Amino acid sequence: MNQLVLNILEKLEKLKQQGGNEYWNIEWDTGKFLSQLVTIHKPMVILEIGTSTGFSGLWLAGTADQYGGRLITIESSKKRLPLAKDSFGLSKLENIELIFAHAPECFEQFDESLVVDMMFIDASKRDYIKFYNKMKPFLSDGAVIIADNVISHSEFVGDYLDLVRKENDSVLLDIDQGLEFTIYKKTTN
Ligand SMILES: C[S@@+](CC[C@H](N)C(=O)[O-])C[C@H]1O[C@@H](n2cnc3c(N)ncnc32)[C@H](O)[C@@H]1O
């Protein structure tokens, strides 16, 4: 993570604390954890669903930039998109593709050759299971999937947790709002 990106993250964190986190950004420790995961796993392509103002995206892309990885991040809100563009623009990171679209429908536009090595799910909680099922063709074997808010919004993500635990190696981490940490097992069927 270079100093410019860290400075922007610190500025956004201050705004978040003053403004009551109106853009629902991840907590600081969740950001640090995502960054550590990127450092050890070194995903070449990271997909984020739910950009908001770009806070988590900067943690992911800022770390992936150190070794040539890139971030694709999807946001469906017209209001938040310019704020994310500003954060990414200020960072001068060139490894971010910001897509204004609604997931999972937009996955149909992905190139067939796309291979995603890490996915961070932080959008509409009821749709986690759809995001997972529709992204399967694009996930590499051993891809890391992190889903946020699985403790804070547990009432909406039960079906997702049941499925990822049944099909993969998956565990709940009691960090901030609750993260489900999954290592994806690719099957041929
Ligand atoms: C919790 S916020 C994301 C926060 C962001 N990850 C961060 O920490 O900075 C969720 C965001 O997902 C967006 N969103 C919700 N459902 C979506 C969908 N189906 N497709 C794309 N974006 C979605 C919302 O507009 C909102 O900005």
Q: What pLDDT, on the 0 to 100 scale, is given for residue 189?
A: 54
Q: How far apart are CA 50 and CA 33, in angstroms?
A: 18
Do 66 and 35 form a contact (C-beta atoms < 8 A)? Answer: no
Is 122 close to ligand 1, i.e. is its CB under 6 Å away? yes
DSSP of 82-132? HHHHHHHHHHT--SEEEEES-TTGGGGGS-TT--EEEEEE-S-GGGHHHHH
Is 102 close to ligand 1, i.e. is its CB under 6 Å away? yes
Q: What pLDDT, on the 0 to 100 scale, is given for residue 170?
A: 98
What residue spans define the domains of the chain? 3-183
Ligand 1 pocket test target in 8, 76, 91, 106 with most atoms within 8 Å of CB: 76
Residue 27 carries which side chain, given as an amino acid letter? E
Helix, strand, coil proportions of the chain in percent (round to 5)? Answer: 45, 20, 35
The secondary element (H helix, E strand) that includes residue 71 is: strand 70-75
**Closest ligand 1 atom to Cα of 106:** 20
Superfamily of domain 3-183: Vaccinia Virus protein VP39 (3.40.50.150)
Average predicted confidence (pLDDT) for the chain = 96
pLDDT > 70: percent of the chain: 99
**Closest ligand 1 atom to Cα of 80:** 27
Which pTM does this prediction carry? 0.97
Instruction: Say if residue 23's pLDDT is above 90.
Output: no
Rounded to the nearest whole angstrom, what is the distance from the C-alpha of residue 188 to the centroid of ligand 1? 31
Rounded to the nearest whole angstrom, what is the distance from the C-alpha of residue 8 to the centroid of ligand 1? 20
> What does the H/E/C string look like for 11-34?
HHHHHHHHHCCCCCCCCHHHHHHH
**Closest ligand 1 atom to Cα of 55:** 9
Q: How far apart are CA 142 and CA 10, in angstroms?
A: 32
